[in-house]
Structure 1
């Protein structure tokens, strides 16, 4: 069975949560490059979650023309 758009977005939100949790764990690394990469991954994963919630939350104004 093919997943619905909502199911796929909710799955992406969950994957974003996992990525956020993993990035937070290494943001305090001694290596500044690892810190910077972890901060970028954290930021992107959080943005993914925001987009997913904007598309799936009940009661939000659906004003995107997709």
Structure 2
């Protein structure tokens, strides 16, 4: 009898690594370049609510619910 090949899930997506040594009061620091990659908007799910974080034309950040 041939055993079926076990199903292997791909590795889960990891959040970008925080910069080492740049944490204050337990807060991690991330590069917006790592978060956005080649996009101008990302979505953040927080406590069941969806938020949009986008880079504005002038290069700022805008967070909307």
User: Does the pair score TM above 0.5?
Assistant: no
Bigger-Rg structure (1/2): 2
Relative to the length of structure 2, the TM-score reads 0.22
Question: Normalized against structure 1, the TM-score is what?
Answer: 0.22
Structure having the larger proportion of residues in helix: 1
Q: Indicate the structure with greater strand content.
A: 2
Q: Which has the higher contact order (CA 8 A, sep 6+)?
A: 1
